[in-house]
Structure formats: C-alpha cells, structure tokens
C-alpha cells in the first residue's frame, strides 16, 4: 500500500563515462538503477552534452495494513508453486587438477572474506542509521512511524515509478514487477557527502540531513524497487482475478460462481447466525454491512456505505473479540479497535505531516479500501478524553459518516476519501454515528465462547470458507446502478405531499441497494 509519496526525483536517464587511462567515452542508461554503472577506472562526465535528465516518482510502500493471515498464506503458497526449480539441467562433474582446486579454495576464501567485510559494513551502517535517527530533535524516526496499525511489521520498500504516476494516490494497493535494488552504497552517500556539495547542487542545500536520512534509509531495511510494470489492485483476494474482466477464463469462473450465489448466501447466513448466538436478523444485517462499499459520491455524500451498530453485545465474555476472530476468516483485511480511554488518548488516528523530515507519519485510519474496522465499545470504562482523544473520536465519526479522513498538515487539513467498513459493537446505543442499529437477541447461551467459536470454524470446510470469501469480495466489486424509477420514488418520498408517510430511516436507502446486491442483482 502507498503510505507516502515523495517529491519528484531527477536522475540521469543517459550519462557518459570516460575511461581514465585511454579517454574512451561510452554512453549508459540510468533507468532502473540508483547508482551509476561506473568502474574504478572510469568516471562520469557531469558536464557532457550527451547527458539527459529525466524525472521519476518515488512511493513509500508498506504491507497491506490488517491483511488477513489466510490471504498472506495463499499468496505465499502461490509464489512457491510458480517458482519450482528447473530439472532440465544435469550437472557434469569432471575431475580437476590439484592446482585448480587450490585456486578455487583461495578464491572462495577471498570471496567469503569480502562478503564478511561487506556484511559487517552493512550492519555498521544500519546501526549508525538507527542511532542517528533516534537522536533527532523530532524524536524517533523508527520505521514503525510509517505503519498505520500498531504492532505491525513487514518489509517496507521504495517503489520508483517512471511513467503514469499521476494515476496513483496515497492508500492505493499496488502490484509491482520491477528491478530490486539492494545497494549498500546508498546508505552511506548522505553520511559521506561533502558539505561544499551544496554549492554545486542547490537541491542539497534545500534538504536537511534529517530529511535525507528519512528519505534514504539503508536498502537492507527498505529496499528499492524500480517499477517496470505497476498496477492498482481493486482488491487483495487471491481467490478471484485482479480484474474480473481481464480474460475469458476469469469471466467464466466468476459467472459460474454467480450461478450458485443463492446457496452460498444461505450458507453464509447460517454461518454468521451461529457466530451471533442464533440471531438470524442480526446476521442478515451483518451480511449487508460486509458487502457494502462506496460506489459513488454526490458532493460530500458517499453512496453505498452501510455502517452498522450491533448493540446488546455481552460485555463479560469477550464476545466481540470472538466475533472478530470469525470475521477475520472471511474478509481480506481487518482491524480490531478496543475503544478504551488509553487507546483513544494514546494512539494517533489521523496521519500528520512531519516537516522536519518531509514525511507523512501514518495514523490508524490510513487504511486501504474494503478494510473492516471493528470498534469494540463494550470495553469502554469511565474516564476523561483529552484533546487527542476528542480529536480521534471526531476523526472516527467522520470516517463513519462521510468516509473521509482529514490529514493533519499542521498549517491546514487535507481531506482524503476512504472506503472503510466500520462495525461498532456496544451494550446500548453507540456513542458513534451509524447507518443502522441492530440489537442483538441471542437464542443460545454457550457456557464458554472460545470452544463454541472454535467448533464453528472446525465444522466449516475450507472450501466453504473460500466461497464465503469470494462472495463478499465479488459483491463489493459488482457494478450497481439505480434505475430512474427508484430515483423518482425517492424524490417523491422526499418532497411529495401525497406520498404515504411510511416510516423510512436514513439507513434504509442504503440497506435496500445492499439487499439487491447480496442476491446478485446490480440494479
């Protein structure tokens, strides 16, 4: 996921080198590399008339926040399947002389010694970078600052894009094929830079050392990927193609699944009814919530969202956490947010701009589309929210109502649209807004929830879980249109004096389209 976008970067697309001994000149391409291809016997002619300066864009990318374990395992297994070793080559062992073996041993020892020195240098560089960033005035520049969810780890990377970068934005999920660059020299360039170099390059004067460190961490920690092919993913479900219309085979596969949509929905309803302690009505609304998505925006109003407040949840038996463990098995990305006083006051919900490093520091609400955010209000205790807590509560309400997050740029706020499904569990009516409130009415009362939920998962076949996962993802991607007749009825309902005054709540206009979509009808 794109967490931040750096300023445009200028590089030598074509540069000329000069052989020091003979004066021979040669042209090289600078695309898909960070360090010039130049041997110790050559030097780059910075004043050559053949030099061509080009522009590229850099994205700071992190693993998809809250990505479910089953998604990671499926992607990992598919990669192992595709990269099987070749068996077409049969090694030909031949006898060698003793002198050749001695030469090979000497070469191997030299290579190991060189590798050891390189590894020690890399570890020393990483340690220096960690120490230097920890001593900065703005506090810790740890890479954790750029991960939206607390406690998440993973290989961040810098993706360098050479064309059509205007089509991407922050929080987009990307699939990238490119050239991997892990160049130890990059991490020492900023440290070894001559202070007088700013006189030659005005860009060096504009950048502080702190900013240079933040934008160029060691490649062993944050590798570089020079993108050859890059595309935005509409979803991260490995069970369905990235684009349901990309090939005839994928179209047929999706069409075949849509033919059994009714039976899959019935099985999913039974599965969720069991998870909600026998409440079938709550399970119906939960399905509508899980397939809802923002399909359009009219001015400031997001169309298609359906936030749900599940009230009446028991407080004493970790019901919400057990329910979350079930939902994790069928959604592609999710996060459990306990709404405690410490959480609301202590966490950063809204991303903010750090001008000392010219970096966007991430927040909990910087999430990709179709992420399930489960807010547990049953753990709320008596206490007082400080200024940060009130700001976080307001930001959470804006996500639910307007599907937007106002990023903090100190001198102003910038609105970033989002598409996050927010499910709130509470004892009574939630403090947060919602499109619909459903009071849970348990029909069964198991003595212990943990074995009850585990039995539900163990009784559900993996093939059935995969159908649930495909069902939710496909219906979120389904194109939906509102007919003129429905638009006319809605207008009459809003302004017609003779229209029957049937009680219709605000969430009904969203629930009805979701009810249509959950049965495979796009109108």
Whether residue 351 contacts residue 367, with contact meaning beta carbons closer than 8 Å, is answered with no
Claim to verify: residue 385 and residue 294 sit in the same structural domain: yes
97: in domain: no
| pLDDT value of position 307 | 96
Residue-averaged pLDDT of the chain:
82
Tell me the pLDDT tens digit for each residue of 354-387.
999 999 999 999 999 999 999 999 999 999 999 9
If one compares 478 and 141, the residue with the highest pLDDT of the two is 478
User: Are both 371 and 414 inside the same structural domain?
Assistant: yes
pLDDT greater than 70 at residue 453: yes
Q: Report the alpha-carbon angle 388-393-394, nearest 5.
A: 100
- Whether pLDDT at 138 is above 60: no
**Residues pairing with 54 in the sheet:** 11
**Strand 224-232 to strand 174-181: parallel, antiparallel, or no bridges (unpaired)?**
antiparallel
Q: How far is CA 196 from CA 95, 113, 199, 200, 201, in A?
A: 58, 35, 6, 7, 9
Q: Which two tokens stand for residue 405?
A: 């997050």
Q: Does residue 153 share a domain with residue 35? A: yes
205 and 150 both lie in a single domain: yes
Give the mean model confidence (pLDDT) for residues 167-178: 96
Mean pLDDT of 178-201: 61
215 shares a domain with 254: no
Tell whether the model's pLDDT for residue 245 goes beyond 60. Answer: no
* Separation CA 387–CA 426 (nearest Å): 24
> Cβ-count burial of 47 within 10 angstroms (0-12 exposed, 13-18 middle, 19+ buried)?
exposed
CA distance 41 to 36: 13
The confidence score (pLDDT) of residue 237 equals 95
Q: Is the pLDDT of residue 402 over 50?
A: yes
Residue 52 has pLDDT above 70, yes or no: yes
- Give the chain's domain count: 2
pLDDT in the model for residue 522: 55
User: In what order do the strands lie in the sheet containing 334-338?
Assistant: 334-338, 371-376, 420-425, 308-311, 436-439
The dihedral region occupied by 100, where left means phi > 0, alpha psi between -120 and 50, and beta the remainder, is alpha
- Does 405 reside within a domain? yes
95, part of any domain: no
| Residue 296, beta-bridge partner list | 303
Q: What is the pLDDT of residue 36?
A: 86
Question: What pLDDT is attached to residue 511?
Answer: 59
Q: What is the pLDDT of residues 86-131, one digit of tens each?
A: 444 333 434 444 444 445 544 455 455 445 544 444 444 445 545 5
Query: What percent of the chain shows pLDDT beyond 90?
Result: 57
Indicate if 301 and 356 belong to the same structural domain: yes
Which domain range does residue 181 map to? 2-79+110-232
Residue 382 burial by Cβ neighbours in a 10 Å radius (0-12, 13-18, 19+): exposed
Residue 243: both structure tokens together: 């684009």
* 154 and 62 in a common domain: yes
pLDDT of residue 140: 40
Claim to verify: residue 215 and residue 276 sit in the same structural domain: no
Q: How many CA atoms lie within 13 A of 361 on its CB side?
A: 21
**pLDDT band of 80, cuts 50, 70, 90:** low
- Name which of 347, 341, 345, 339 is nearest 373 in CA terms: 339
- In this structure, the number of other CB atoms found within 10 A of the CB of residue 210 comes to 19
Residues 6+ apart with CB under 8 A from 521: none
- Please indicate, yes or no, if residue 242 is contained in any of the structural domains: no
Q: How far apart are CA 429 and CA 247, in angstroms?
A: 47
Q: Are residues 378 and 422 in the same domain?
A: yes
Same domain? 157 vs 305: no
Radius of gyration of the chain (CA): 28
**Does residue 92 fall inside a structural domain?**
no
201-228, pLDDT tens digit by residue?
445 455 677 888 888 888 888 999 999 9
With 50 as the cut, is the pLDDT of residue 57 above it?
yes
Cα 248 vs. chain centroid, distance in angstroms? 29
- C-alpha 130/C-alpha 222 separation (Å) is 13
- The bridge status of strand 420-425 relative to strand 308-311 is parallel
Determine how many CB atoms are found less than 10 A away from the CB of residue 356: 15
Per-residue model confidence (pLDDT) at position 393: 97
Residues 173 and 306 both lie in one domain: no
Examine the domain organization and report whether 141 and 28 are in the same domain.
yes
Write down the pLDDT at residue 316: 77
Tokens describing residue 197? 């170099």
- Last-in-domain residue among 197, 232, 267: 232
Answer yes or no: pTM beyond 0.85: no
Residue 393: alpha-carbon gap to chain centroid? 23
* pLDDT at residue 315, as a whole number: 84
CATH of the domain at 353: 3.40.50.300
Beta-bridge partner residues of 406: 415
Query: Which tokens sit at 112?
Result: 């190991």
């Amino acid at each position: 996921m794109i967490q931040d976008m750096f300023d445009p970067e200028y590089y030598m697309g074509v540069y000329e080198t000069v052989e020091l001994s003979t004066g021979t000149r040669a042209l090289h391409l600078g695309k898909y590399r960070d360090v010039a291809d130049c041997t110790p016997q050559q030097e780059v002619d910075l004043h050559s008339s053949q030099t061509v300066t080009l522009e590229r864009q850099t994205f700071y990318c992190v693993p998809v926040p809250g990505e479910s374990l089953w998604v990671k395992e499926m992607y990992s297994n598919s990669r192992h399947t595709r990269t099987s070793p070749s068996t077409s080559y049969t090694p030909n062992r031949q006898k060698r002389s003793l002198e050749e073996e001695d030469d090979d041993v000497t070469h191997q020892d030299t290579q190991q010694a060189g590798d050891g020195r390189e590894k020690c240098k890399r570890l020393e560089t990483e340690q220096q970078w960690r120490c230097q960033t920890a001593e900065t005035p703005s506090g810790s520049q740890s890479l954790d600052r750029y991960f939206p969810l607390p406690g998440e780890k993973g290989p961040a990377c810098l993706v360098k894009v050479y064309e059509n970068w205007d089509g991407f934005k922050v929080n987009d999920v990307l699939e990238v094929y490119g050239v991997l660059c892990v160049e130890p020299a990059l991490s020492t360039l900023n440290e070894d830079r001559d202070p007088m170099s700013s006189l030659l390059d005005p860009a060096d004067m504009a950048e502080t050392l702190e900013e240079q460190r933040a934008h160029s961490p060691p490649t062993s920690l944050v590798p570089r990927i020079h993108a050859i092919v890059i595309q935005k993913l509409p979803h991260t479900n490995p069970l369905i193609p990235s684009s349901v219309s990309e090939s005839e085979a994928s179209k047929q596969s999706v069409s075949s699944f849509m033919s059994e949509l009714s039976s899959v929905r019935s099985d999913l309803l039974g599965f969720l009814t069991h998870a909600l302690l026998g409440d079938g009505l709550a399970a119906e609304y939960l399905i509508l919530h899980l397939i809802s998505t923002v399909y359009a925006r009219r001015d400031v109003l997001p169309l298609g969202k359906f936030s749900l407040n599940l009230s009446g949840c028991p407080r004493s038996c970790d019901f919400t956490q057990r329910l979350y463990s079930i939902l994790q098995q069928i959604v592609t990305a999710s996060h459990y947010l306990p709404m405690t006083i410490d959480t609301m006051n202590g966490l950063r919900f809204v991303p903010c701009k750090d001008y000392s490093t010219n970096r966007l520091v991430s927040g909990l609400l910087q999430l990709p589309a179709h992420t399930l955010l489960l807010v547990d209000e049953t753990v709320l205790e008596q206490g007082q929210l400080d200024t940060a807590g009130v700001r976080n509560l307001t930001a959470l309400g804006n996500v639910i109502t307007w599907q937007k997050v106002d990023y903090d740029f100190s001198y102003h706020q910038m609105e970033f649209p989002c598409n996050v499904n927010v499910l709130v569990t509470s004892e009574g009516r939630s403090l947060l807004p919602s499109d619909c409130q459903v009071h849970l009415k348990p029909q069964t009362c198991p003595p212990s929830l943990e074995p009850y939920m585990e039995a539900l998962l163990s009784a559900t076949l993996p093939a059935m879980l995969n159908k649930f996962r495909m069902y939710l993802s496909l219906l979120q991607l389904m194109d939906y249109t509102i007919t003129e007749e429905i638009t006319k009825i809605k207008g009459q309902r809003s302004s017609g004096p003779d229209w029957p005054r049937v009680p219709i709540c605000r969430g009904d206009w969203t629930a009805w389209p979701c009810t249509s979509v959950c049965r495979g009808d796009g109108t």
